[in-house]
């Protein structure tokens, strides 16, 4: 099986449904790599080894995963639809952050806010290039400029994931410059 398919399955398991492969996540949402290898073989007939997982983590362009300091555990950095605590500390954001989305969501965003949808947090980028990568996945895309510093000054919390994705619970429309 190619690395892309393995990465997608690993994302699904670690971010959304660990029970699909009967994977156990610890209290900090780490999964044992040996268990991942065993369950991939048992449930999906995927023969993967530790070196392949390590390479997958290293080569992932979005750095979706982290391996623990002892190299025995793996977890998703963000994008979870399950309620988890990644032990992220609130941090002061830059003046502006960016979000790539589709035009079909614009009416709802303009009327009320940008919400996380099925994820735990809204994902924001500190640069336009990263936002454009997200933007390119959508038909009729839009980049939103988020007035993150003003949000922060109004008591909204921001977090920075291990792979440099900015996270917040929501972005009210009054803190968005709409770009098309």
Outline where 60-146 has alpha helix (H).
106-111, 128-135
- The percent of residues above 70 in pLDDT, for the chain, comes to 84
The pLDDT confidence band at residue 92, using thresholds 50, 70 and 90, is very high
Listed range (15-29, 44-58, 79-93, 99-113) with the worst mean pLDDT: 79-93
- The pLDDT confidence band at residue 180, using thresholds 50, 70 and 90, is very low
In the predicted structure, residue 11 carries a pLDDT above the cut 90: no
Domain residue extents for the chain = 3-76, 97-178
The correct answer on CATH 1.10.10.970 for the domain covering 3-76 is yes
pTM, to two decimals = 0.59
Write the pLDDT tens digit of every residue in 140-166.
678 899 999 999 999 999 999 877 889
Is 9 or 88 the better-scoring residue by pLDDT?
A: 9
Q: Is residue 80 classed exposed, middle or buried when 0-12, 13-18 and 19+ CB atoms within 10 A define those classes?
A: buried
Which stretches of the chain are assigned E, i.e. beta strand? 31-32, 65-67, 73-76, 97-102, 113-115, 122-124, 141-146, 159-160, 166-168, 170-172, 176-178
% of the chain surpassing 90 pLDDT? 24
Top-confidence residue, 6 or 62: 6
pLDDT in tens, 31-57: 999 999 999 988 888 888 988 888 888
Architecture of domain 97-178: Alpha-Beta Barrel (3.20)
65 Cβ contact partners less than 8 Å away, ≥ 6 residues apart: 10, 14, 56, 57, 74, 75, 76, 77
């Amino acid at each position: 099986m190619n690395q892309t398919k393995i990465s997608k399955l690993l994302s699904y398991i670690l971010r959304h449904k660990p029970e699909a492969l009967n994977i156990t996540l610890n209290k900090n949402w780490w999964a044992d790599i040996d268990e991942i290898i065993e369950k991939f073989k048992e449930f999906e007939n995927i023969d993967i080894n530790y070196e392949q997982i390590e390479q997958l983590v290293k080569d992932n362009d979005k750095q979706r995963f982290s391996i623990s300091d002892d190299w025995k555990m793996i977890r998703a950095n963000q994008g979870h639809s399950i309620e988890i605590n990644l032990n992220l500390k609130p941090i002061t954001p830059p003046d502006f952050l960016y979000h790539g989305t589709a035009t079909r969501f614009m009416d709802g965003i303009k009327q009320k806010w940008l919400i996380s949808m099925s994820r735990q947090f809204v994902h924001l980028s500190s640069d336009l290039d990263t936002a454009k990568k997200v933007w390119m996945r959508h038909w009729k895309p839009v980049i939103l400029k988020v007035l993150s510093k003003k949000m922060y000054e109004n008591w909204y919390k921001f977090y920075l994931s291990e792979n440099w994705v900015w996270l917040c619970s929501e972005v009210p429309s009054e803190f968005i410059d709409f770009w098309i």
